[in-house]
Each structure stands twice: as structure tokens, then as C-alpha cells.
Amino acid sequence: MVQAQQPQASPPSQPKRRRPGQDWKAWPQYDAAELGLRGYWYPVTWSSKVTGTPQRQTLCGEKLVLIRDGGEVYALADRCPHRGVPLSLGRQEFPGTLTCAYHGWTFDLESGKLCAVLTDGPKSPICGKVVQKTHPVEERHGIVWVYLGDGEEPHPLDEQLPEEWRDGSFVLGGSMQDRRGDWRYACENGFDEGHAKYLHRTSLWRLFRTMPTWNITSIERQGRWIHRVQKEVHFRDEHSGLGVWTNYRWWKKKPPERVFNIGNVGDLGKPVHPVIGRQEFPGYTSISVPGVLRVVYPDFIHYEWWVPTEPGHHRYVGIMIQYREGLSTLPFYLKYFGGIRWFFHGQFSQQDEWMVGETDAPPERLYRPDASLTAWRKLVEETTTTHEAARAAKARRQDYDV
């Protein structure tokens, strides 16, 4: 007799164990933010570039059309609701409006309302029934800032600009470039403690300055920002069995012996400008949401905004400021256009662009200096959660007010 065999019970399936570094699940908000963080102001272009001719921009995956009218800049969704043609192909037929190139649907710039349809006569019944999405716009320091949200009232732009910008007595130079690479890689590169000492050792910007070889740092939070604070700075190391590694060269200036937290090669005896000194920055490099880096030197500050555009692409916005006014701004412009723009916002920064464009993570295997990266991810995680909660509460209040 053949006995029926009992089906073997399969062992209970074990939850798959993830190795650390295989994904970004420890930072779920960050992981999901491929197209950036919503509910923030972003620098989109220079004020001087926006005229009465509509221009296309992409921000956080959304196509926008920018146009200047009566001195103000307006931003609308760049897709005509009629048949999906970009509104940026259109033109201005009447002040305060933008007309689509295809069938002449005409939108009010301020409200986005369809106010005329040129191919359906002055009594077109669809007028007033269609509203094009608009985005809040501000101009500050010669830059157009667009708030990318979901219809809520934006917070004031000044709340989001670096605090030291409130003392507006500075001159500014900068460069905006569309670049390859996820905006998060660009942020991580910017705040990454390790790379500058190796990657940028060959940059012309650092031709006469000695870069450290490694540091001991801690991450400190100050308001909206996290800072990298130097505890130890090293310039020459003996690697057992391999030899000596150093960035010292006979033609480079010798860095100070002591630990420094202003400028990435030390202050080299330069006096610190009083406005910069008053900020009491704990470290020379700091970062805040939605992706802005601040690097503090004795008499100037360098910023980088990494603006999400399309998946895998971002816009680099490099800005340098110096607290100068009137005629004393002249040497700044000479220095900026004579060198900084090409050596710092150019060749030095293009070394970053190269690496950001080539980065492919996760998976990743992090090392000690990458504590800077994980602190940044944690900051986004915490800020996004509280920010989203505040936005939702504000939206609820607005519903109630209506």
C-alpha cells in the first residue's frame, strides 16, 4: 500500500535582512525626494534674464513658464490645459496676460484664470471656468525665487534666506549651471567632509593653498543649519608600509598650526569681517534645507544651492558675497570676474560636477567622514516631517478661515 505523503511544511519565511548601506530606507522622506522638497523657495534664474518673452524653466519636475509684466515676474504651469502645448511658446497679446500659441487661450498672469479665448469670440463660454496653476515669485538680490508648493500660502522668502543676508550691505557674484546628477548627490558632495582634500588638491583655486589630508570633526546644529566643526586638522601622514601622504608643496602657503573653523585652509591671519564674526558660526561649512551650502571665509561667504530640476539633474547656483558697498564693490567685481568665476565657480566646482554626475548610490559603503552625509540626511528627515506637519496645519487653518 502506498501511503500518501504529508506535504512538508515549508519553513516560515525569514524577513530578508538588509545590509546597511544597501538602500536609503533609514531616511524615508529623503529617499522619496528624488524631485526635491516641496514647500520651499528656490532660486531659479537671474532677474535680468526674465523679460516679456516667456521662458521655460523646470523646477522639482514641474515645467514652468516665467514672464515679466509691469516689472513683476510671474510663474505659471507651462502646459496649456486645452491641448497640452507649452505656454512658453506663446506671447503677450494684452498687458497682464499670456496667450497660448495654438488656439489663443489667454490667461491672467496674476490669478491664472482663463480670461479670453481669441478663437472663440469675446463671449466664449469657457472663459472664467479654467484656472491655470500659478506659483508665488519673489525677486531678491538680482535672483528670481519661485515657491514650489501645493497651493498653500508660502512662508516669507526672508525666513529661508541665510540669516546674515538680513544685513543687506553686501555685493554678490554668482554662476548658475544646469548639471547632471541627482540634487541629493550634489548636497551630499557639498557637505561631504572627505572629498575636498583629495579631489580638489589639483584645483587652480587651491594652487597656492595647502589642503589638509584628514580631519576629526563633529556635526553641530545651529538653528536651521548643521555645521562641520573641526576638532583636529592633519596635513602629513605616514601610511604604514606605503609611505608619506601630504598636500604640502614648496610653492604653497603653509597653513596655521592650530585648528581653524573659518576658511577651509585656515584664516591665514586675515581679519574676520565684523558681520561674519557676529554670526558666531561654529564651523566654516554648514548646510540647510532645501539644499543650500554655506562656506565661510574671513571676508567673504560662498553659497551653493542645488535646485532639483528633472530626475537625475539639478541646477547649481554658486553665489559669493562680500560685505562691501558703493565704490568699494569695484575690487570685488574685478576679483570675481577676473578669477573667482573661472577658478572657483568654474574649474574647482566642475571637479564636483564631474563626481556628482558619476555618483551611483545606494548601495554604498560609508566610512568615518561620511558622518557628515548621514547628518544631512537626518536633518532633511527631521525638517521635512516637522515642515510637512506645519504646512498641513496651516492649510487646515486656511480651510477653516474660508
Which residues contact Fe ion (rule: CB under 5 A)?
352
User: Which residues are registered as beta bridge partners of 304?
Assistant: 293, 318
The span from the CA of 148 to the CA of 64, in Å, is 10
Residue 188 interacts with which of ligand FES, Fe ion, none, CB < 5 to 8 Å by class: none
Contact status: 133 vs ligand FES (CB under 6 A): no
- Please say which residue, 114 or 276, places its beta carbon nearer to ligand FES: 114
Nearest CA to 303 among 138, 190, 185? Answer: 190
Pairing status of strand 105-108 against strand 236-239:
unpaired
Residue 100 interacts with which of ligand FES, Fe ion, none, CB < 5 to 8 Å by class: ligand FES
The number of helices, as runs of H, and strands, as runs of E, in the chain is: 9, 19
Residue 82 interacts with which of ligand FES, Fe ion, none, CB < 5 to 8 Å by class: ligand FES
Sole window of 9-17, 100-108, 253-261, 367-375 interacting with ligand FES (rule: CB under 6 A):
100-108
Residue 105 interacts with which of Fe ion, ligand FES, none, CB < 5 to 8 Å by class: ligand FES
Contact 135, 146 (CB under 8 A): yes
Q: How far is the CB of 119 from ligand FES (least distance, A)?
A: 8
Helical residues (DSSP H) of 182-268, grouped into ranges: 183-191, 195-199
Contact status: 107 vs ligand FES (CB under 6 A): no
Contact status: 63 vs ligand FES (CB under 6 A): no
Residue 394 interacts with which of Fe ion, ligand FES, none, CB < 5 to 8 Å by class: none
Q: How far is the CB of 51 from ligand FES (least distance, A)?
A: 22
Residue 352 interacts with which of ligand FES, Fe ion, none, CB < 5 to 8 Å by class: Fe ion
Q: How far is the CB of 87 from ligand FES (least distance, A)?
A: 7
Most distant CA atoms of the chain, gap in Å = 107
Nearest CA to 173 among 364, 354, 341? Answer: 341
Helical residues (DSSP H) of 282-337, grouped into ranges: 330-335
Centre a 10 Å sphere on the Cβ of residue 10 and count the other Cβ atoms it contains: 6
Sole window of 26-34, 50-58, 99-107, 193-201 interacting with ligand FES (rule: CB under 6 A):
99-107
The three three-digit cell numbers of residue 77, written as one number: 504651469
Contact status: 113 vs ligand FES (CB under 6 A): no
- Please say which residue, 89 or 371, places its beta carbon nearer to ligand FES: 89
**Residue at grid coordinates 608643496:** 249
Residue from 30, 40, 41, 105 binding ligand FES (CB under 6 A): 105
Structure letter (DSSP) for residue 22: S
Sole window of 81-89, 127-135, 277-285, 312-320 interacting with ligand FES (rule: CB under 6 A):
81-89
Q: How far is the CB of 200 from Fe ion (least distance, A)?
A: 6
- Phi–psi pair at 138, nearest 5 degrees: -135, 150
Residue 161 interacts with which of ligand FES, Fe ion, none, CB < 5 to 8 Å by class: none
The span from the CA of 133 to the CA of 62, in Å, is 11
- Please say which residue, 132 or 215, places its beta carbon nearer to ligand FES: 132
Burial category of 300 from C-beta neighbours within 10 Å (exposed 0-12, middle 13-18, buried 19 and up): buried
Question: What is residue 9's three-state secondary structure?
Answer: coil
Site size toward ligand FES (CB under 6 A) is 8
Structure letter (DSSP) for residue 270: P
Torsion of CA 58, 59, 64, 66, to 10 degrees: -100
Residue from 100, 114, 276, 296 binding ligand FES (CB under 6 A): 100
Q: How far is the CB of 126 from ligand FES (least distance, A)?
A: 11
- Please say which residue, 164 or 352, places its beta carbon nearer to Fe ion: 352
Nearest CA to 29 among 315, 378, 345, 263? Answer: 378
Nearest CA to 233 among 259, 263, 204, 206? Answer: 259
Contact status: 82 vs ligand FES (CB under 6 A): yes
Residue 320 interacts with which of ligand FES, Fe ion, none, CB < 5 to 8 Å by class: none
**Residue at grid coordinates 504529508:** 6
Residue 102 interacts with which of ligand FES, Fe ion, none, CB < 5 to 8 Å by class: ligand FES
Contact status: 102 vs ligand FES (CB under 6 A): yes
| Residues in contact with ligand FES by the rule CB under 6 A | 80, 82-83, 85, 100, 102-103, 105
